Structures are given as C-alpha cells and as structure tokens.
Amino acid sequence: EAQVTQNPRYLITVTGKKLTVTCSQNMNHEYMSWYRQDPGLGLRQIYYSMNVEVTDKGDVPEGYKVSRKEKRNFPLILESPSPNQTSLYFCASSMVLGVYEQYFGPGTRLTVT
Amino acid sequence: GDSVTQMEGPVTLSEEAFLTINCTYTATGYPSLFWYVQYPGEGLQLLLKATKADDKGSNKGFEATYRKETTSFHLEKGSVQVSDSAVYFCALSDRNNNNDMRFGAGTRLTVKP
C-alpha cells in the first residue's frame, strides 16, 4: 500500500529535550515536506526537500532541522523544543511538486511543556 | 507572494443541503489548484484538483472550477451527507515559484442529520 508513515503519532515532552519525528514514504517520491498545523493558520511549511541531500527552508523553519540521506526518509529534528512548537505536524511527499498532489502522513501531535 | 484565502468556518449544514466553500488565490504564475479534505484524526487527502484555467475537478460529488478571471476555485456539492463532515483546505502549487505549495486556513464543515 502506498503510504507516508510518521512516528510517533503522539508525543509529550519537556522544554529542551531533543526529539526526532520520523517520516518515511514507499512511493519513490522525490519531493518531501514538513508542515505544522495550528488553529486558524492552516498548514505552514517548515522545511522541504526536492531530492536526496537537497533541503530548503519553508515559511517557519526556526527551531527545526531536517535531513534527507535517503530518498524514502525525511526526519524532523527539534534540538531544543519550546512550548511554541506544540502543534500538529504532517509529513508529505510528492512525485514532483506542481501538477501532482502531495500525499500526507497521519500526523504527529506534539506537546511541549 | 502566493497566497490562498478561503471562507472562514465553521460551516454547519443539514443533510442534503447545498454546499459552497469559497476559495480565492493570488499567484504570480499559472498555479495548479487543489482541494484537500481532512477527516478527524487523519492526515490530509486530495479531494480534487485542476491544473489550468476552466478545468473542472470533481470527486465524490464535489466539484470546483478553475476561474482565472476571478482567481477563484470554489468548492461545491449539491447534497451533503453526514460523512462529509471534515475540514476542507484549498491549496495552490505555483510552477513559477519553485512549485511552492500554499494552503488556505481550512474550513470546518459539520453536517447534521
């Protein structure tokens, strides 16, 4: 089954404790992206990757890091989480952005206390 | 920069009512337009898309027409069902802007029996 998986689905952590949210797709997509969803703000892009070893900042990259060492994986790293990073996070992938739609993971709900 | 504006919710309708969710966009080039739907506890999934002016996207009884003259892509359904209750996102992807994808804030629809 073609899918994007994320882990964990739910995470409660404390300020400053490094964490990683994993994302993996099995569709051989070149493009991958991370979004955060906050009430009234829709989805805002954090980082994206056009291909292996190619990453770039989205609209809200502060406090986040990513890497793309393999085509299928695109982890999101929070080196020192803060309460304002409490949000619902989505990973997405696409064959090529533009005409083709993005496929989304199920989401990771992160709470930073 | 590119942006998407969609009508604020929440929208509450009775079953079999007519649905319209307005969406307008601003883009420098010739974007592709999408409607995504998010059911409770799930990630976003593509509902329909249109890639050029005057195209009509349709799926599951929903439809939207790409109107370049009014820069709009309004979502319509003639007779909604309780199972259509979800959050709907309008989005664009602009080939002239590095294929950057922009989402509206989302409109929550609740359909009552």
Q: Specify the amino acid at residue B71.
A: T
Query: Among A97, A103, A108, A109, which would you mutate to test the B interface (most chain B Cβ atoms within 10 Å of its Cβ)?
Result: A97
State yes or no: pLDDT of B106 exceeds 90: yes
- How confident is residue A99, by pLDDT bands cut at 50, 70 and 90? low
Residue A40, pLDDT score: 80
State yes or no: pLDDT of A100 exceeds 80: no
Contact B105 A40 (CB under 8 A): yes
B 6-65 residues inside an 8 A Cβ radius of A = 32, 34, 36, 41-46, 49, 51
CA gap A33, B91 in Å, rounded = 15
Tens-digit pLDDT profile for residues A41-53: 889 999 999 889 9
- CB proximity list for A29: less than 8 A, separation 6 or greater: A71, A93, A94, A95, A103
CA gap A6, A24 in Å, rounded = 7
Note whether A46 and A61 are within 8 A (CB).
yes
A-chain CB neighbours of B49 within 8 Å are 101
Contact A105 B32 (CB under 8 A): no
| Closest partner CB to B32 (pick from A41, A43, A98) | A98
